[in-house]
Structure 1
C-alpha cells in the first residue's frame, strides 16, 4: 500500500462507519414507528403488497353485509390475501375464541361481549370502537298490523321475536323495553339478529326488534319502524386483533381498513352510526 493510500484509508473507513451508523439509526427509527399500532395499521392498509395470506375474522351477525364488502375491498387492495368470515352471535363467537378457535380478528356488537375475550387475555392490545348501531322494529311488508311504537308490540295477538338476552341485540332490546317501562313476552328468543329477522321475512312472526342495519339490508322483505326508546340502547361495536392471530400483519391491515375513511363510508351506508 502506498503512503497516499494509507493516509486516505482512515477517512474512508470513518465515512463508511458513519454511513453504517446512519443506516442503523434509520432502521431503528423505522422499527420504532412500527411498534405503534396506529401507525403500522395505517401503513399496512395503504400499501398494497405489504400483507399476504389468509386472515380469519369473527364478526357479529349484524356486520355480515358491510364486512363482506370490506373483505372484498381488502382482497383487491392486497393481492394474495384471502379473508374468511365467521358471522354469528357475539357471545357465541367470544366463547369460541376463548375456547381456542383459530381467528385473527374479533368484531363484536357490544363492549360486554368483547370483554369476554379481553378478560380471558385473548386480545392483543385494547379494542377500538369502530361503529355504533341502533334498534328498529322490523314488520311484515306494508306493516299490516299498523305497528307504530314499541308499546304496540306488547299487544295481544302479535307474534313478536326478540334476540336472546345474552346477545347484544337482545340485551339492547331489553334495555329499550325497560326505558319505556314495558314488558314483552316474545314467541321465541333467537341466537342472533339475523335469525330474528328471518322469522319476519318468512312470515313466521309479525315483528322483531332488530338493528336498523338489518332492516336496511333486508330491503323490501320487511318494513322498519323507528321508536324513541332505541336511543337509550345504542350499541358500540369494538374490534381487536387476537393474541393467537396466525397472520398478525393482515389482521392489523384489516382493522385499519375498517377504521379508515373508506371503511367508515361503507359502514354508514349500511346504516351504522359513526363511533
Structure 2
C-alpha cells in the first residue's frame, strides 16, 4: 500500500488564517480523515476477515475461477471407489481451494439405505444403475462416470490353479461372493447363472472390499471382485481375467442429493467427475470409459 505525500508549502499553497474550530468542524475533519485512511486499506484488503465482501462479478473464494462457491461436501460412494476417489478428492480440492470433500464408502445397497434415512450428504455414486434408479425421488439426474468388469481374485501365485469361472464350482474350493443385493454380488450371480455354474460360497459379504479382504487374509481361495479392486492389492492377490463374452459390465452413475445444503457445489463436483482430469485418474486406476 502506498501513501500520497502531503504537498509542500509554497506561494501556490499559502497558509490560510485558521478559524476557530467548533464542534461541527472537528467532527467533519475527523470523518474526512477516517475516510481517507480507510480508502487505501480497502484497496489493499485480503477479504478474508469476517466482514470482508467480494466484488460483484468476482469468483467466489475457493472456486479457482469456476464461479462455484467453496463448500464442504460429503459424498457417499461405492466401496470399489475407495482408492481412486481418495486420489480424485485430493485433486478436486487442489483445483478448488477452500473446498473440503469427505467420502463415506460402503456397498451401494447400504448407501441407498442411508439416503432413504436422510443421511446428511451432498452427492452419491453407486456401482450400478439399478440402485441409483431406485432413488429417483432423492437425487438429481445421474451421469455414468465409469465402467468396470469382474475378475476372479485368488491368493498370490494362484496356488489352486484357478483358470476360469467353471473352476469355482469345485467343492474343495473356499469361494466367497458378495451378497445378491450388492451390485458386485448381483453381477457375479448373473455371469455364473449364464454359464450354468453352481457355486456354494463359504460366505456372502456386504461389499466388494470385504470379498477381497477374505481372499487377502487366506480365508477364501477365490472370490469375484471388480478388476480395479484386485489391482489395489497386486502383491497379495492374483487376478484371473474373465472373457468379455462371459463377463458383466458395471456402470457407475453419480448424482447430487436433493437434501444437499450445497446444491451448486455438489453439482459442480458431479460434473467434474466427467472432466478430462477426473477421467484420467479413473483410467489410471483401471476403470473403463463411461
Residue in 2 that maps onto 1:55? 73
Q: 2 CA distance for matches of 1:199 and 1:264? A: 30
Q: 1 CA distance for matches of 2:97 and 2:246? A: 41
Q: 2 CA distance for matches of 1:66 and 1:230? A: 27
Residue in 2 that maps onto 1:150? 165
- The CA deviation at 1:252 is 1.5
Q: Does 1:136 align with 2:151?
A: yes
CA RMSD of aligned residues (A): 1.6
- 1:251-262 equivalences under 5 Å are 251-262=266-277
Q: 1 CA distance for matches of 2:246 and 2:220? A: 24
Whose RCO is larger (CA < 8 A, sep 6+)? Answer: 1
SS in structure 2 of the partner of residue 134 of structure 1? strand
Render the CA deviation track for 1:61-97: whole Å, top value 9, x for unaligned.
0011111111101111111111110000001101110
Give TM-score scaled by structure 2 length. Answer: 0.76
- The CA deviation at 1:244 is 0.8
Q: 2 CA distance for matches of 1:86 and 1:263? A: 19
- The CA deviation at 1:197 is 0.3
Q: 2 CA distance for matches of 1:62 and 1:129? A: 15
SS in structure 2 of the partner of residue 76 of structure 1? helix
From the superposition, tell whether residues 147 and 66 of structure 1 become closer, same or farther in structure 2 (CA, over 3 Å): same
Structure 1: state its 5+ residue gaps: 1-43
Q: 2 CA distance for matches of 1:109 and 1:191? A: 13
Q: 2 CA distance for matches of 1:241 and 1:48? A: 18
* Equivalent of residue 117 in structure 1, options 129, 135, 143: 135
* Equivalent of residue 176 in structure 2, options 141, 147, 161: 161
From the superposition, tell whether residues 232 and 205 of structure 1 become closer, same or farther in structure 2 (CA, over 3 Å): closer
SS in structure 2 of the partner of residue 219 of structure 1? coil
Give TM-score scaled by structure 1 length. Answer: 0.80
Preserved contact between residue 195 and residue 246 of structure 2 (Cα < 8 Å): no
Residue in 2 that maps onto 1:32? none
Q: Does 1:199 align with 2:214?
A: yes
Q: Does 1:92 align with 2:107?
A: no
Q: Does 1:108 align with 2:126?
A: yes
Render the CA deviation track for 1:160-181: whole Å, top value 9, x for unaligned.
1000110100000001101211
Structure 2: state its 5+ residue gaps: 1-61
